[in-house]
Chains A and B, each alone.
Chain A
Amino acid sequence: MTLQLGRHAFSDEATLMMAIVNRTPDSFYDKGATWAEDKAFERVSLVVEQGAEIVDIGGIKAAPGVEIDAAEEKARVVDFVARVREAFPGLVISVDTWRAEVGRAVCAAGADVLNDAWGGADPELVDAAAEAGAAIVCTHTGGVTPRTRPYRLEYDDVVAAAIHDTVAYAERAIAAGVDPASVVIDPAHDFGKNTFHSLEVTRRLGEMVATGYPVLVSLSNKDFVGESLDVPVGERLTGTLAATAVCALAGARIYRVHEVVETRQTVDMIETIAGRRLPKRAIRGLQ
């Protein structure tokens, strides 16, 4: 099935880089490096140059912290989306939000995708996507409240739970009028999951791919990488790329990333090994 992300269509073979752009003063990885609007815009320009097909603009960090209401969230992202839309008409713009009110406003400003990291906490978000013809990312969080950390959450089978919840969310989105070609699922590593859960979801990602919905993975520099290797934020790229390779081999389609170039190379290499992508240029031994 062709993947339709708002105004942009992609073939079944396409793998896509979704570059994270934080309009936050406190996100875990960049620690506010793109809080200033011009810095965020520079980040967009950079990742476009690096080949990212999608930017994922977020106005609230995922971890607990100062409460940001919808008005403040909109103030952080809506005008920025409009600016990016105007400057980069060919770019897919995703906004990381769980709020329908914010979703409607960013779609009106030119967003193509609503990336709901919090598993449908606001039931009207699907309506916002449907009204705007936008795509939606349906994640699994185990039902936790937005911006809370997992605490003693356990599953009989975390992958079965992730498939059940994301597919149910996807079906709810389609029932609300979202184009079935515009529904993406995401197991949401580390959201409502301890490290063992995130590792299992990685190891068994093929089961999510088998649902037929395009799968997004958000692995970049996360704590399950840090805990697996005992490395702090800032030293997690190698582990992130290893996890990326496993997900790519299983057939993930969209990669939400901090490092576009490294992830693109990793995914392209795996896709080439898997026989889903041709080598860029092969002449050795064939002259």
Chain B
Amino acid sequence: MRVVLVPGVLALLPEYAGLDDPVAELRAACLEAVRWLGDGPVILADPQGERVARALVDAAGVSTSSTTGDRSTTGASAYLVIGNGSAKRTEKAPGHLDERAHPFDEGLGASLRAGRPEVDAALAEQLWASVEGIGRMAELGELGEARVDYDDDPYGVQYWVMRWER
């Protein structure tokens, strides 16, 4: 089983493309990871994140016959999880600076790296973190150590691209 986490960044959608790509490095990491996932991943995401997931699957050139994880998610060979940390990491972040953002992201990031994501859903909501898909990763069991392809907050939002193989 392969699992990939990418952030639900709307700038990744083709309808929001500009002449210059403000998330070029992130996009490259996302596409490489989605290609590594292979055809037909099950998507674990909120509805907006699902749009991002489908756009990435299309752009990566893998099969788009993916099912959304509303139903039973177990038993698939590939999962594409959409989620990210806080959007309150700097004064210029979308949600302005919240001092709880960094410790929240550090904790969430560490748990993701370990393959056992732990989410404080109430705090996530306050910090504008998108964790619906990450919360559902628990259904997949322990994933082991992640390979981290991307870990940055270029616009005050914490993004990760991670891969797990079990």
Q: Which of B32-65 contact A (CB under 8 A)?
A: none
* Chain B residues with CB below 8 A from A286, complex form: 9-11, 16
Q: Chain B: how many interface residues by the 8 Å CB criterion?
A: 17
Instruction: Pick from A279, A280, A281, A287: contact of B87, CB below 8 A.
Output: A287
How many angstroms between the C-alpha atoms of A279 and B22 in the bound complex? 11
Q: Does B19 contact A (CB under 8 A)?
A: yes
B94 touches A287 (CB 8 A): yes
Q: Does B18 contact A (CB under 8 A)?
A: yes
B94 touches A281 (CB 8 A): no
Q: Does A64 contact B (CB under 8 A)?
A: no
Q: Which of B1-44 contact A (CB under 8 A)?
A: 9-11, 16-23
Q: Which of A243-287 contact B (CB under 8 A)?
A: 277-283, 285-287
Chain B residue with the shortest CB-CB distance to A287: B155
A281 touches B16 (CB 8 A): no
A265, chain B: closest CB distance, angstroms? 14
* Chain B residues with CB below 8 A from A278, complex form: 17-19
Chain B residue with the shortest CB-CB distance to A281: B20
B11 touches A283 (CB 8 A): yes
B20 touches A280 (CB 8 A): yes
B157 touches A280 (CB 8 A): no
B157 touches A287 (CB 8 A): yes
Q: Which of B66-102 contact A (CB under 8 A)?
A: 87, 93-94
Decide if the interface of chain A is mainly helix, strand, loop or mixed. loop
Q: Does B156 contact A (CB under 8 A)?
A: yes
* Chain A residues with CB below 8 A from B19, complex form: 277-281
Give the interface size bracket for A toward B. 10 to 19
Chain A residue with the shortest CB-CB distance to B94: A287
Decide if the interface of chain B is mainly helix, strand, loop or mixed. loop
A275, chain B: closest CB distance, angstroms? 12
A282 in contact with B18 given A287-B9, A287-B11, A287-B157 (CB within 8 Å): yes
* Chain A residues with CB below 8 A from B9, complex form: 286-287
B94 touches A283 (CB 8 A): no
B18 touches A279 (CB 8 A): yes
A281 touches B18 (CB 8 A): yes
* Chain A residues with CB below 8 A from B20, complex form: 280-281
A280 in contact with B18 given A287-B87, A287-B157 (CB within 8 Å): yes
How many angstroms between the C-alpha atoms of A285 and B155 in the bound complex? 10
Chain A residue with the shortest CB-CB distance to B13: A286
* Chain B residues with CB below 8 A from A285, complex form: 10, 94
B86, chain A: closest CB distance, angstroms? 11
* Chain A residues with CB below 8 A from B10, complex form: 285-287
* Chain A residues with CB below 8 A from B17, complex form: 278
How many angstroms between the C-alpha atoms of A280 and B17 in the bound complex? 9
* Chain A residues with CB below 8 A from B156, complex form: 287
* Chain B residues with CB below 8 A from A281, complex form: 18-22
Chain A residue with the shortest CB-CB distance to B9: A287
How many angstroms between the C-alpha atoms of A92 and B24 in the bound complex? 33
A282 touches B157 (CB 8 A): no
- Complex interface bits, B123-156 against A, C-beta within 8 A gives 1, otherwise 0: 0000000000000000000000000000000011
* Chain A residues with CB below 8 A from B21, complex form: 281
Besides A278-B19, A279-B19, 9 new A-B residue pairs in contact (Cβ under 8 A), listed by A number:
A277-B19, A278-B17, A281-B21, A282-B18, A283-B23, A286-B9, A287-B9, A287-B93, A287-B94
24 contacts between A and B (CB under 8 A): A278-B17, A278-B19, A279-B18, A280-B18, A280-B19, A280-B20, A281-B19, A281-B20, A281-B21, A282-B11, A282-B18, A282-B22, A283-B11, A283-B23, A283-B155, A285-B10, A286-B9, A286-B11, A286-B16, A287-B10, A287-B87, A287-B93, A287-B94, A287-B155
6 closest A-B pairs by beta carbon, nearest first, are A287-B155, A283-B22, A286-B11, A286-B10, A281-B20, A279-B18
